[in-house]
Structure 1
Amino acid sequence: MSALRIEHVNITVADPERTARLMAALFDWRVRWSGAARNGGHSIHVGTSDHYVALYNGGQTAEVFAKGRPLNHIGVEVDDLADTEARVIAVGLTPFSHDDYEPGRRFYFFDPDGIEYEVVSYAAP
């Protein structure tokens, strides 16, 4: 069996287009697919050729989903933590909980839907 990996994560957001633009701006990801989804919804797959986040909205707003039910955060590994933090700030979001412990350095931020992201780098400082 080949190495196992997470291929995608599917989350509900208020505005898939807005979230896809945000992920493209922060992580240099691209839209892999966009179209109709179940229950009359709309979905966008944004990521790389190896993995993606499926952004779904079926007419409900993300406010009905409390943090941690069931998702705590999405972790994204980057090479340049300072560059990504600057991008987060540039789009008007607030980084918090900066930490440096084995095996890497990290910070967190919330997107406009209240979804928490952990941005981590394992590169030497």
Structure 2
Amino acid sequence: MPHGTIEHVNITVTDPDRSAQLFARLLGWKERWRGPSKLGGRTIHVGDERNYLAIYTKDGARGDFAKGVPLNHIGVQVDDLAAAEAIVREQGLEPFNHGSYEPGPDSFYFFDWDGIEFEVVCYE
């Protein structure tokens, strides 16, 4: 039986430098690459040696997408939920919907500056 993982997620934002900085701090990631996109605009890849976010922008990107169209949220895992929440708040973003559920992790959600919803989970 094959085994897989998500290698990257590509998102469109209005300020890729700001988003790359947030995820580098939040997840301990580094910038892997930046440059022009094949579709015009530019992209920053921020992640670790196996997984990354491709953070894309083009001139005129407005960030006015409706939640859930077509993506509901992106889940990220951290080892310190309180530290992650502090980083999100430092960026002027508002964590919400804190919870813990069986058998899963403690978690919270936040919207980035462009209305993309993220779930932050911690299994410890």
Tell me, yes or no, whether TM beats 0.5: yes
64 and 94 in structure 1: CA distance in 2 versus 1, 3 angstrom threshold: closer
How far off its partner does 1:65 sit?
2.3
Could you list the structure 1 runs, at least 4 aligned residues long, displaced by more than 4 angstroms after superposition: none
- TM normalised by structure 1 equals 0.90
The aligned counterpart of 2:100 is 100
The amino acid of 2:18's aligned partner reads R
User: Larger helix proportion, structure 1 or 2?
Assistant: 1
Task: Give the distance between the partners of 1:45 and 1:61, measured in 2 at CA.
Answer: 18
Kept in 1, the 8 Å contact 2:67–2:115? The answer is: yes
**Is 1:25 paired with 2:6?**
no
**Is 1:112 paired with 2:83?**
no
Task: Give the distance between the partners of 1:11 and 1:23, measured in 2 at CA.
Answer: 13
**Is 1:63 paired with 2:59?**
no
Kept in 2, the 8 Å contact 1:12–1:62? The answer is: no
Q: CA RMSD in A?
A: 1.4
- TM normalised by structure 2 equals 0.91
Q: Which runs of 5+ in 1 are unaligned?
A: none
Kept in 1, the 8 Å contact 2:65–2:115? The answer is: no
Q: How many residues align?
A: 123
How far off its partner does 1:112 sit?
0.9
The amino acid of 2:118's aligned partner reads Y
The amino acid of 1:40's aligned partner reads G
The amino acid of 1:87's aligned partner reads I
Kept in 2, the 8 Å contact 1:38–1:58? The answer is: no
Percent sequence identity is 55
Task: Give the distance between the partners of 1:81 and 1:88, measured in 2 at CA.
Answer: 11
How far off its partner does 1:19 sit?
0.7
Task: Give the distance between the partners of 1:87 and 1:12, measured in 2 at CA.
Answer: 21
Task: Give the distance between the partners of 1:122 and 1:66, measured in 2 at CA.
Answer: 30
Q: Secondary structure at the match of 1:109?
A: strand
How far off its partner does 1:40 sit?
2.0
How far off its partner does 1:29 sit?
1.2
Task: Give the distance between the partners of 1:121 and 1:74, measured in 2 at CA.
Answer: 14
Task: Give the distance between the partners of 1:62 and 1:7, measured in 2 at CA.
Answer: 26
